[in-house]
Amino acid sequence: MAIVEIVKTNETKPTVTGTVQNIFYESPDNFFKILLVKVAHQTIDWHETEIVVTGSFGDIKEDERYTFYGKVVTHPKYGKQFQADNYQVDQPTTKAGLVAYLSGEKFTRIGQKTAEKIVDALGIDAIDKILDDPTVLAPLGLNAKKQAQLVETLTINNGMEQIIIGLNNYGFGSSMAYNIYQTYHEDTLKVIQENPYQLVADIAGIGFKRADNLAETLGFAADSAVRVQGALMQALNELTNQAGDTYTQAKPLLAASIELMEKARNVAIDPNLVAEQLMALAHDGKVVGDENRIYPNGLFNAEWQIANHLMRIENERDQLSYPKHDLDQEIRHLEKRFKMTYDDVQQEAIKLAMTHRTFLLTGGPGTGKTTIINGIVTLYAELNGLSLDISEYKDTPFPILLAAPTGRAAKRMSETTGLPASTIHRLLGITGRENNPDVSGNKELEGGLLIIDEMSMVDTYLFRSLLRAVPSHMQVVLVGDKDQLPSVGAGQVFFDLLQSNVIPAVELQRIYRQDDQSTIIPLAHEINQGQLPADLLKPQKDRSFIQCNPYQIESVIEQIVTKAKARGFETKDIQVLAPMYKGAAGIDQLNPMIQNIMNPKLDDRKKQVSIGNVHYRIGDKVLHLVNSPEQNVFNGEIGQITGITYAKKSVDKVDEITIAFDSTEVTYKRSEWHKITLAYCTSIHKAQGSEFEMVILPLVNQYQRMLKRNLLYTAVTRAKSLLILVGEPSAFQKAAHELSANRQTTLKERIKSVFTGEQLTPAIKTASVGQNEAHPVAQPVSPSTPSVAVDETIQEAPVSYVLTPTLLARQSVDPMIGMTEVTPYDFMPKTK
Ligand SMILES: Nc1ncnc2c1ncn2[C@@H]1O[C@H](COP(=O)(O)OP(=O)(O)OP(=O)(O)O)[C@@H](O)[C@H]1O
């Protein structure tokens, strides 16, 4: 449908029709191509036999004829070319031509007679008619093989081109068209025409507004069900992602959805209609309502799955007892070996870790977390008769698995234990599918003990994936600092695990790393108590405070960094941490300033590539912004640019940057540079899990909303040797004072419910094992739910929580899911 309209719009455009002689260039990342075309006819002022045509094309073939629509442009270097914004395979326009085409070499099973029959019956539009609806061939009596080949060949030849043309006409450029096509393939146009809002969920970089523009041109009314549902899904994801919550409530959800819709088109939306569509989404299982909470389906399931997997591990029949060993005695041996005395809490931690399937260890900096990890590993090996010499495990996997959420944290873990440690993604073999956090590896881990460090950074989806891979006999020790910022992704898993009070846990509070006269660690602990020391503004051996207003911050930091560089500090040693991107003291302002000190462009010989206002040079410190498990680089990792290849020298003829990270080196083409940014100054969130010799921390009252205790605490604990606080003392006071609000999650309740069998869990049964499930899952079921093999999502979620019309009726769940306190007046269209 849309294609026909599209072609019509081309009628007035300049055209070039001709045969592709040569494909000069094909972008490896998108559909951009440069073609040499032998001109058959054209409607432009052109007197040569050949012309260079550029544009984004699907599967262009040499020696085939196409019609290109676009305009003549003058390239600064290569002169005049035809820039096509649209094209189509040049289909025969006469009956005879069409018969010749259909009986030609492409259609080996179709002879002259059959071709004539087709054209006689279907006319000159035969190809479009067949592509639109292959059943038009039915009355012609072609045998099945002939018919199949005809449709298949026509589809291959026309399909991709039509899609790319369609996408271009919908206003998507080469890269975006490529991403969209890669996601939906031959269904691309169908998906878009049926529900343009699907793009928002599936394609990074397409927001509601963009999808809505498209929907409007496709004729979707402002109050169409598809639009309202699209807005609801977008608002739900925004509300949960931005705040890190796993659910929201009806009131903010409806308000945000209505705002999205009314901003995109100036049409008032009836709140009742939105409420109706929310119910429809619940019926389709895309959102889940539970009491007054509304969850994206994936997060709702993930919380239950975590609880169920923990229960599965807990229920393992094999007892963890060591009758031949006296644990107190063993701890004395450890003390001798490590030449230290564990305090009572530390001893308790080691014992609990040895005797329980799952154990949680939390503590601030310098309280002995690493010390206890080492104790646990050593004692575990001792009790199980294992060697800790990895060279003895050539053919068998090492039985103790150590992992952390980031490469940096994993590297530190490996250094402090002397054993191999990896990222959790690597351990699980997850191959990055950023757009679908629901996807995880199917691997089952091998080994007896798993220790995860920096647990506060692990989000709901990652933890669910991790637990899914843990076999029931494995012991799991989760270590972190509960007072640090929670994960970037949704949830506050470590905090909720601790709060559930059903998993053995120990909090280490005594600080041991004070002997070296560090004042940074005591400062961190004071902040954690909501206080600041009386000597905050007085220079100490390892920290200082420079008072200034927001507009002086840049110049103060400039002076500090210049001095630090003169004293021999290297780029990797100095880290500026700022809470926000914008503003006079924001990350965007500070980064180029520090870059110019640490890595200036002294002359034209120094290679530099630019994207927008950001310049990259060899030696620059850069931050990785997304998870790329396939390259073993993760969100928040810092690397250094080790190479720049200009387009003319690169194989693919695009600018490239090579970056060395801790555990790997990657090369990014220009189209992938959105994955990185300068890292001289980063956000505190991005610095989680990393430590730096010198941290410079600017805080001013302008940051208001951000001034929270866990933010200040996390920032301060990133400093290993030197901490320079810059800004307004009152901002530091406010931050230390303000407890951050907990995220809205229900993991704690899910765990309690599954472990205590309260609420909706009258029975724990072992569910039938689905294909994806490597091990049985303890599953809470409703009494009336039959025990049948169901797909994994349902299997792991308590069925009675999934809103279906029958369940709604049976359980008399309020159909207004969570809207009990909300009246339509809350959403009355605002006066414009
Ligand atoms: N019981 C103890 N007696 C003496 N020293 C101890 C004891 N426990 C820990 N320490 C020492 O305290 C210091 C800090 O311990 P450790 O590195 O284990 O803490 P941490 O909690 O892992 O710190 P961070 O989170 O900052 O890495 C180390 O030098 C360690 O040897």
* pLDDT digit string, tens, across residues 210-225: 899 989 988 999 999 9
- pLDDT tens by residue, 27-66: 766 778 899 999 988 899 888 899 999 988 877 777 778 8
Q: How many CB atoms lie within 10 A of CB 65?
A: 16
Q: Is 135 annotated as a binding residue?
A: no
Q: How far is the CA of 510 from the centre of ligand 1 (A)?
A: 10
| Averaged confidence pLDDT in the chain | 83
Task: Give the CA distances from residue 774 to residues 206, 319, 444, 769, 770, in Å, rounded to whole numbers and listed in that order.
Answer: 36, 22, 7, 7, 8
ipTM of predicted assembly, 2 dp: 0.97
Q: Is 407 annotated as a binding residue?
A: no
Atom nearest to 717 CA in ligand 1:
26
> Which two structure tokens, joined as six digits, stand for 732?
């530091």
Task: Give the CA distances from residue 754 to residues 153, 236, 501, 760, in Å, rounded to whole numbers and listed in that order.
Answer: 55, 26, 13, 9
Beta bridge partners of 53: 35, 82
DSSP string across 184-237: HGGGHHHHHHH-TTHHHHHSTT--HHHHHHHHHHTT--TT-HHHHHHHHHHHHH
**Which residues are CB-neighbours of 504 under 8 A, at least 6 positions away?**
352, 356, 358, 359, 360
**Nearest CA-CA partner of 475 in 378, 354, 305:** 354
- d(CA 148, CA 127) in angstroms, rounded, equals 14
Q: Does the beta carbon of 480 sit less than 6 angstroms from any atom of ligand 1?
A: no
pLDDT of residue 776: 31
Q: Does the beta carbon of 525 sit less than 6 angstroms from any atom of ligand 1?
A: no
Tell me which of 452-456, 512-516, 594-598, 781-785 is least confident. Answer: 781-785
pLDDT of residue 93: 66
Q: Does the beta carbon of 689 sit less than 6 angstroms from any atom of ligand 1?
A: no
Q: Does the beta carbon of 367 sit less than 6 angstroms from any atom of ligand 1?
A: yes
Q: Does the beta carbon of 365 sit less than 6 angstroms from any atom of ligand 1?
A: yes
Question: Band of the pLDDT at 199, cuts 50, 70, 90?
Answer: very high
pTM of the shown model: 0.73
Atom nearest to 510 CA in ligand 1:
8
**Which residues are CB-neighbours of 546 under 8 A, at least 6 positions away?**
556, 560, 724, 725, 726, 727
Q: Does the beta carbon of 512 sit less than 6 angstroms from any atom of ligand 1?
A: yes
Tell me which of 171-180, 638-647, 695-704 is least confident. Answer: 171-180
pLDDT of residue 758: 67
Residue nearest to atom 8 of ligand 1 (CA): 368
- pLDDT tens by residue, 287-303: 999 888 999 999 999 99
Beta bridge partners of 287: 296
**Which residues are CB-neighbours of 568 under 8 A, at least 6 positions away?**
none
Say which residue, 282 or 779, is predicted with more confidence.
Answer: 282
Res 772 pLDDT > 70: no
Q: Does the beta carbon of 374 sit less than 6 angstroms from any atom of ligand 1?
A: no
DSSP string across 703-732: GGGG--HHHHHHHHTTEEEEEEEEE-HHHH
Residue whose CB lies within 8 A of the most ligand 1 atoms, among 331, 506, 513, 520, for a mutation test? 513
**Which residues are CB-neighbours of 210 under 8 A, at least 6 positions away?**
199, 200
The average pLDDT across 698-714 equals: 91
Residue that is written with structure tokens 């309020």 in the block: 814
Q: Does the beta carbon of 717 sit less than 6 angstroms from any atom of ligand 1?
A: no
Q: Is 171 annotated as a binding residue?
A: no
Residue at 399: amino acid letter? P
Q: Do 577 and 681 form a contact (C-beta atoms < 8 A)?
A: yes
Q: Is 166 annotated as a binding residue?
A: no
Res 526 pLDDT > 70: yes
- d(CA 232, CA 197) in angstroms, rounded, equals 10
Q: Does the beta carbon of 370 sit less than 6 angstroms from any atom of ligand 1?
A: yes
Residue whose CB lies within 8 A of the most ligand 1 atoms, among 370, 506, 528, for a mutation test? 370
Residue nearest to atom 6 of ligand 1 (CA): 512
Task: Give the CA distances from residue 775 to residues 400, 434, 470, 757, in Å, rounded to whole numbers and listed in that order.
Answer: 21, 26, 9, 21
Q: Is 367 annotated as a binding residue?
A: yes
